[in-house]
Amino acid sequence: MSRHALQIFACNASRDLATEICARLGRRLGRLDISRFSNDNLRVQIGDNVRERDVYVVQSFTEPVSDHIMELLITLDALRSASAQRITAVIPYYSYARSDKKDAPRISITGRLIADMLKTAGAHRVLTMDLHADQVHGFFSVPVDHLTAIPSIAEHFCNNYDISNMVAVATDAGGAKRVGRFSERLGIPMAIIDKRRTSDTAVKHGDVVGDVAGRDAVIFDDEISTAGTLVSSAATLRAAGARSVHAGATHGVLCGPAIERLRNAGIDSLVVTNTVHLPPDKRLDRIAVLSVAPLFAAAIERIHSGESVGALFE
């Protein structure tokens, strides 16, 4: 293997996605042994020579989040100690992006803290997808390539539905910019639901701003966690006269009561991507999962060769 050759590793949260990425690039997934000592401390050992290599480590911050973050940090440190020439943390789902502001007294802006920890551990750059808020990009003091699944999800709706009567819907004013990009990609109008969050898991919906009566509504968001917002948004749209309700999101976290809520919700279909692994017990018939492996593979290839990543979306 030549100096500065590309190597890809995966921690436990994203092995399936990393395997797909490697298949697209025609490369073998690197050997990585993650185990625990008897006192529950993590142990990571790199199984391949990485001296002077261009290395990529794929790991989403999914449940158990703290364990998966520690796996990544220790892996980055091990690669640095093994003299990797450049280390890129590939984080398809950066969950702490939701902790992006000080909206209560005496709390941590944890999205920035994790960004600092990644650099300290040895990451020279970060590759991620659809951060919860664009400003999180600025938390990093290393280069960040920020991919988006909007074109892939828009193409799914374009290929599988009649979009002539569709309207894209933001679940609150904060998501309007994101949904604006989605609606522009499809060439359809958009609407906004007046949402007020009363706690981490509870929201109150008001009026729909925009015309949804008799139309096929597509709720679009960056992630779906407990599905509380999605289900209540669907009920609000139905009450406003929407003919059908669909949903799309990049990160299908689907934790807690999400699957039960979706099973009983008035949602005709839901499309997510595989930035978060969706086990068989969560795969309802109405849920479609798109692979983002081709996009991450193309981005990794471009970073490795020094080409523009932004050109992927032009």
Write down the catalytic residue from 101, 102, 177, 195. Answer: 195
Please report, as a single letter, which amino acid is at residue 77. D
Our answer to whether residue 195 is catalytic in this structure is yes
Long-range CB contacts for residues 282-286, cutoff 8 Å, separation at least 24: 282/254, 282/258, 284/259, 286/262
Instruction: Please return the burial class of 214, using the count of CB atoms within 10 Å of its CB with bins 0-12, 13-18 and 19+.
Output: exposed
The dihedral built from the CA positions of residue 139, 145, 150 and 153, taken in this order, carries a sign that is negative
Give the whole-angstrom CA distance, residue 99 versus residue 216: 33
Helices (H), the chain: 15-25, 65-81, 110-121, 150-160, 176-186, 228-239, 258-263, 293-305
Helix, strand or coil for residue 225? coil
**Which residues are catalytic, by number?**
195
